Copies of this chain bind each other. A is one copy, B any other.
Amino acid sequence: MSTQNPVFIPGPTNIPDRLRRAIDVPTIDHRSSLFAEAFKPAVDGVRRVLKTRDGEVVIFPSTGTGGWEAAITNTLSPGDRVLAARHGMFSHRWIDLCRRHGLEVEVIEAEWGEGLPADRFAEVLAADRGHGIKAVLATHNETATGVRSDIAAARKALDEARHPALLFVDGVSSIASMDFRMDEWGVDLAVTGSQKGFMLPAGLAIVGVSRKAQAAMEKATCARCFFDFRDMLSAYQRGGYPYTPPLNLIFGLVEAVKMLEEEGLPAVFARHFRIAEGIRKAVEAWGLSLCARDPRLYSNTVSAIVVPHGLDGTRVVTHAAEKYGVAFGVGLGEVAGKVFRIGHLGSMTDVMALSGIATAEMAMADLDFPVTLGSGVRAAQEYYRSTNGVSHRISRKAA
Partner of A350, one of B64, B324, B330, B348: B324
A127 sits at the interface (CB 8 A): no
A267 sits at the interface (CB 8 A): no
A210 sits at the interface (CB 8 A): no
Q: Would you give the shortest CB distance from A206 to chain B, in whole angstroms?
A: 13
Which of A15-23, A39-47, A114-122, A131-139 participates in binding chain B?
A: A15-23
Is there contact, CB below 8 Å, between A361 and B381?
yes
Partner of A27, one of B14, B323, B329: B14
Question: Which chain B residues border A1 with CB–CB below 8 Å?
Answer: 28-29, 32, 34
Which of A150-158, A294-302, A383-391 participates in binding chain B?
A: A383-391
Is there contact, CB below 8 Å, between A249 and B352?
no
Q: Would you give the shortest CB distance from A380 to chain B, in whole angstroms?
A: 8
Partner of A223, one of B64, B66, B78: B78
Given A243-B63, A374-B374, verify A354-B359 contact (CB < 8 Å). yes
Given A32-B321, A202-B245, verify A326-B351 contact (CB < 8 Å). yes
Partner of A349, one of B73, B325, B362: B325
Partner of A28, one of B7, B30, B32, B348: B7
Is there contact, CB below 8 Å, between B223 and A223?
yes
Is there contact, CB below 8 Å, between A3 and B21?
no
Distance, CA A65 to CA B62, complexed state (A)? 12
- Residues 328-348 of chain A, each 1 if its beta carbon lies under 8 Å from chain B, else 0: 011000000000000000011
Question: Which chain B residues border A327 with CB–CB below 8 Å?
Answer: 28-29, 31-32
- Residues 282-323 of chain A, each 1 if its beta carbon lies under 8 Å from chain B, else 0: 000000000000000000000000000000000000000101
Question: Which chain B residues border A224 with CB–CB below 8 Å?
Answer: 100
Is there contact, CB below 8 Å, between A244 and B12?
yes
Question: Which chain B residues border A354 with CB–CB below 8 Å?
Answer: 354-355, 358-359, 377
Is there contact, CB below 8 Å, between B388 and A381?
no
A220 sits at the interface (CB 8 A): no
Q: Would you give the shortest CB distance from A218 to chain B, in whole angstroms?
A: 15
Is there contact, CB below 8 Å, between A69 and B245?
no
Is there contact, CB below 8 Å, between A249 and B358?
no
Partner of A63, one of B25, B223, B244, B329: B244
Is there contact, CB below 8 Å, between B248 and A201?
yes
A234 sits at the interface (CB 8 A): no
- Residues 211-248 of chain A, each 1 if its beta carbon lies under 8 Å from chain B, else 0: 00000000000111111100000000000001111111
Q: Would you give the shortest CB distance from A278 to chain B, in whole angstroms?
A: 11
Question: Which chain B residues border A69 with CB–CB below 8 Å?
Answer: 225-226
Q: Would you give the shortest CB distance from A19 to chain B, in whole angstroms?
A: 11
Distance, CA A382 to CA B375, complexed state (A)? 12
Given A326-B351, A358-B358, A374-B381, verify A4-B30 contact (CB < 8 Å). no
Q: Would you give the shortest CB distance from A332 to chain B, in whole angstroms?
A: 10
Question: Which chain B residues border A202 with CB–CB below 8 Å?
Answer: 30, 61, 244-247
A92 sits at the interface (CB 8 A): no
Ordered by A's residue number, 17 sampled pairs between the chains whose C-beta atoms are within 8 Å are A1-B32, A4-B348, A12-B30, A27-B201, A61-B61, A61-B62, A62-B226, A63-B243, A63-B246, A65-B242, A69-B225, A73-B223, A202-B247, A358-B377, A366-B385, A373-B382, A374-B377
